[in-house]
A and B are shown apart, each in its own frame.
Chain A
Amino acid sequence: MTDLDGAALLDIARQTLLADIVPALSGDARFKALMVANAMAIAARQAQYGAVAEPADAAALAAAIRAGLRDGDKDLAQTLLELARARCRISSKTAEKAG
């Protein structure tokens, strides 16, 4: 059993939840089951892509941005956009497609 990794296991568990369990639910229970499915999808993508590489010293960077020391820094803007996109790949399937 080495070829079934965590992401794949979460994926089939989620498919089962959506196909066999959610249709039998209604109201609040259905809403909560859909939230569980969403959480499983995020966890599966996290397992698949690994942790997002965060900026080395986020506190110093945040302070420098606030102080105006990085105004107009196009490289930094690109880095931050890539960081947001990397986080989106894990958090949101629709965001990954859209941007």
Chain B
Amino acid sequence: MDDARRAGLAAWLPDSFSIVGMALMSGGAIQQNWQLDVVADGTPHAWVLRTDQPATLSHSRPRAHEFALLQEAFAAGVAVPEPLMLCTDLCVIGTPFFIMRRLDGIAAAHRIVRSESLGGGRLALVAELGRALARIHTIRPASAALAFLSPHPNMPAGMRFVTEMRAHLDVAGVAQPILEWGLRHLERHAPASAEIVLCHNDFRTGNYMVDQTGLTGVLDWEFAGWGDKHEDLGWLCARCWRFGSPHEAGGVGPRAALYAAYEDASGQRVDDDAVRFWEIAATIRWAVIALSQARRHMSGTEPSLELALTGHIVPELERDIMLATS
């Protein structure tokens, strides 16, 4: 962050806060995360400033929406980075930003699924994940602060999913018989309407942080929207998000422990058939995303080895879809 932006930020912060350190954190093609250290009355505060990349035409959720999601989740008792301040005034650092408390811990999926002790051990961590999901799902469409989220259409969530994915495939314009087979299977087996709740929509290992004792926070809220609670449970349990681990719940621990903790915290039964339905849906959704990333490379608009390799994830997803549906 150049001197002018940093000075703008320093002037915007309440008088008692002075900036003692700022460093760009890794990752994020669309968003930037800055490690921000401030001192107020002799007390150090560890924060993260999240903003858009300058000169990025952002199609992702605006920072103000992401901030509102974090506020709602925090108020519902979900472990998240506490949202502290939001600034949509472009005169301060040139882009909208918000500040949240910095969490300790690691998010690296490959390390988490291989560790017997991180997050307090497999059973403890899986139970925490179940409780975190149960708390997220207490947030309902009546929430005025989340009025910016598209209302859920008047159809079962499974049918909404099939309709959305077919629309994506039609826009891409490349015939995908295996993904069509999977979607047709889902269409024929869609669970009946369930209560509509806030779904995180990217709740998987790699998108939460843990330390040695437990879950420290759920990250990456940009895909959140209204849906069926089983969508999040299925996304977490899908084979493609186990990172090669034999443990069915997020590659971390047993599925039964996840369900038990979720049921205990929510007082609602988990429908195993519905979770399995959403695991197939998760596999299809990840394949559709991976295909669109590979197309960004192949079209020549954004040559990238990483995007090209993402396309080679698709066959394994297609095989999982066929094994689950035939």
Residues of A within 8 A of B (CB): 32, 35-36, 38-39, 42, 55, 58-59, 61-63, 65-66, 68, 70-71, 74, 76-78, 80-81, 83-85, 87-88, 90-92, 94-95, 99
Contact = CB atoms under 8 A, between A and B. Distances in A.
Nearest to B325: A77
Given A81-B322, A99-B319, A99-B323, A59 B175 contact: yes
Contacts of A59: 175
B166 A66 contact: yes
Contacts of B244: 94
Contact of A92 (B306, B308, B312, B323): B312
Secondary structure of the B contact surface, majority rule? helix
Interface residues of B, number: 27
B88 interface: no
Secondary structure of the A contact surface, majority rule? helix
B326 A83 contact: no
B178 A38 contact: no
A35 B306 contact: yes
B90 interface: no
B316 A92 contact: yes
A71 B184 contact: yes
22 contacts: A35-B305, A39-B305, A39-B308, A55-B177, A59-B175, A61-B177, A62-B175, A62-B176, A65-B181, A66-B184, A68-B184, A77-B322, A77-B325, A81-B319, A81-B323, A87-B314, A87-B319, A88-B316, A88-B319, A91-B315, A95-B316, A99-B323
